Amino acid sequence: MKMNHVRRGTGEPLVLIHGLGGSWRTWTPVLDKLTAEREVIAVDLPGHGETPALSGEVSIDTLADAVTSFLGANDLTGVDVVGNSMGGRLVLELARRGTVGTTVALDPGGFWKGWERYFFYATLAPSIRLVRLLQPVMDQLTGSAVGRTLLLSQLSARPWDLSADVARKEMRTFADSPSFDELLRRLAFGPSQPGTDSTAGSVVIGWGRKDRVTLPRQAKRALDRFPSAHLHWFEDSGHYPHWDAPDEATELILASTANAE
C-alpha cells in the first residue's frame, strides 16, 4: 500500500497515525520535539490528506491491512507507533495483531457503548457538514481565536491556543476526505475494538480528562480489553492531547518508547 508520508529526524523509527478526517499535519505541534530524538514517519491514511481512498470497503480492518502493508513495504514492521482518536484505535488493532512494537494510543475510539455511539455520531455528523459548508470562509475563521474556538471546541480543550495554520489544514482535510462519512458510520455503529492480554510491545493509553468525543469513562473499557496497558491521564486536555498538551504528549511518547532504542 502506497501512502503519502513525511519522514524526518534520526534515530529509531516512530510511526504517527492521525485520526478521522486528519492528515500527517495534525502532529505539527509535537513534530519538531519528536524528530529531535527519533526518526518520525507521519502518514496520511487512505482517503485522507494526499493518499487516495481504498477501493471497496473502508473500515478499521481494511485501514489496518493498508497500514500493515505500508509498514512491510517500508521495512517498518515491528516499530513503535503512536495514534490519536481513530488512529489510536488503529494502533491498538495493530498491537493486537502483533504487527508493531511499543504502542501509544491517545484517546482511542472503539470503546463506545449504548447511547455513547449515538452521541458520537449525532455530534460529529452535523459538525462535518458545517465544516464543508464553511470552506469558502475557513481561512478567516481559523485565523481568529474566536473562530477556532467555535470550530474546534469538541476536539480541543483550548482551541484558541492552536495555530491558525494547523487549524486551517485540519479543517480542510476534514472537508476533503472521501472516506470520512463511511468511516464515521462504521466507527459509531460497527464492531467495538477487540482486545488482547498479549502484545509484542508495551501498550500505553493516554486519555484527556476533558475529552468530548471519546468520553473519559471509556478508558476503563480500554484497559479491560488491553489489561497489560498503562493508562496516562492528561488532566487539562480534550480529544487531541498533542494539541492541548504538546509537551506532556511528547514526553509520554518518548518515555514510553525509550526502551526501543
Q: Give the CA distances from residue 197 to residues 55, 137, 149, in Å, rounded to whole numbers and listed in that order.
A: 33, 48, 39
What's the gap between Cα 2 and its chain centre?
A: 19
Residue 92 C-alpha cell reads as: 491498538
Q: What is the mean pLDDT of residues 5-20?
A: 97
Backbone φ and ψ for 221, nearest 5 degrees, come out as: -65, -40
| Coil, strand or helix at 5 | strand
pLDDT at 166 over 90: yes
Q: What is the mean pLDDT of residues 118-131?
A: 95
Q: What is the mean pLDDT of residues 113-125?
A: 95
Do 185 and 53 form a contact (C-beta atoms < 8 A)? Answer: no
pLDDT at 254 over 50: yes
Total-model pTM:
0.96
d(CA 138, CA 172): 8
pLDDT of residue 260: 46
pLDDT of residue 261: 42
pLDDT, tens digit (0-9, with 9 covering 90-100), for 48-71: 999 999 999 999 999 999 999 999
pLDDT of residue 102: 98
